[in-house]
């Protein structure tokens, strides 16, 4: 089978196996967040950082939810990485932002953080700080969900259909899921242009 046919058949399989109960639960968590005037902090590294930046725009513009991606501020991110280490960047962002129980964090990650393998330790440290502060923890992650799934309140795990294509499927479905959320009738306040 050629790659295109295989890839897009897998996309169909992933879409058919997203946990829609968790999708609806996450939509309601976002409505509750807006009602309590909390902020949404979206964490991602690598390709997921790009997705976090895009998602911030959509949640702010379409849903009226005050949202931030710590990775959008390159100066602070690189200064903290240089002076304190990359593993502290999200934890420190929450401290300076005075994040609290009104707020929530949305993790976009392929693995969700894995301390044993030393992968996405910055997400792990950020989530530990979020828990101390009583923040709701949401996530759209891949594989087994990692640390995010273990500590999260509402975490959607993108189904693995091919071990060799976990990253492209997970990062693609981060966008599919959050676009579903920002266009959800309960969450969306403002219409898109098209």
In the chain, what are the domain boundaries? Answer: 3-182
Pair 129, 162: CB distance under 8 Å:
no
pLDDT at residue 1 is higher than 90:
no
**Mean pLDDT across the stretch 137-150?**
97
Percent share of the chain, pLDDT over 90 = 97
> What's the number of CA atoms in the CB half-sphere (13 Å) around residue 25?
15
pLDDT at residue 133 is higher than 80:
yes
| pLDDT tens track for 3-50 | 999 999 999 999 999 999 999 999 999 999 999 999 999 999 999 999
pLDDT at residue 176 is higher than 80:
yes
Pair 152, 138: CB distance under 8 Å:
yes
| Reported confidence tier of residue 92, pLDDT bands at 50, 70, 90 | very high
> Which pLDDT belongs to residue 62?
98
pLDDT at residue 152 is higher than 80:
yes
Distance separating alpha carbons of residues 156 and 17, to the nearest angstrom: 11
**Mean pLDDT across the stretch 63-75?**
97
DSSP E strand boundaries for 44-162: 67-68, 104-109, 136-141, 154-157
pLDDT at residue 65 is higher than 80:
yes
Residues 6+ positions from 82 with CB-CB distance below 8 Å: none
pLDDT at residue 127 is higher than 90:
yes
> Which pLDDT belongs to residue 38?
98
Angstrom distances, CA of residue 19 to CA of 6, 23, 167: 22, 6, 19
Pair 178, 140: CB distance under 8 Å:
yes
**Mean pLDDT across the stretch 124-128?**
98
> Which pLDDT belongs to residue 91?
96
Angstrom distances, CA of residue 153 to CA of 46, 68, 79, 95, 105: 24, 19, 31, 21, 10
Question: At the fourth CATH level, which superfamily is domain 3-182?
Answer: Glucose-6-phosphate isomerase like protein; domain 1 (3.40.50.10490)
């Amino acid at each position: 089978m050629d790659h295109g046919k295989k890839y897009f058949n897998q996309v169909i399989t992933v879409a058919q196996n997203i946990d829609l109960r968790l999708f609806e639960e996450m939509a309601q968590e976002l409505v509750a967040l807006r009602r309590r005037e909390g902020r949404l902090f979206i964490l991602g590294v690598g390709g997921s950082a790009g997705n976090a930046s895009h998602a911030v725009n959509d949640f702010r513009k379409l849903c009226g939810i005050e949202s931030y991606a710590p990775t959008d501020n390159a100066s602070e991110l690189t200064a903290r990485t240089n002076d304190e280490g990359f593993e502290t960047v999200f934890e420190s962002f929450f401290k300076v932002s005075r994040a609290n129980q009104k707020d929530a964090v949305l993790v976009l990650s392929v693995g969700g953080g894995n301390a044993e393998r030393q992968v996405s330790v910055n997400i792990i440290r950020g989530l530990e700080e979020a828990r101390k502060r009583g923040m709701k923890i949401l996530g759209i992650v891949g594989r087994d969900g990692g640390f995010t799934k273990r500590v999260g309140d509402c975490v959607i795990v993108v189904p693995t259909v091919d071990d060799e294509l976990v990253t492209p499927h997970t990062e693609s479905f981060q966008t599919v899921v959050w676009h579903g959320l920002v266009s959800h009738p309960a969450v969306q306040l403002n219409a898109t242009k098209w």
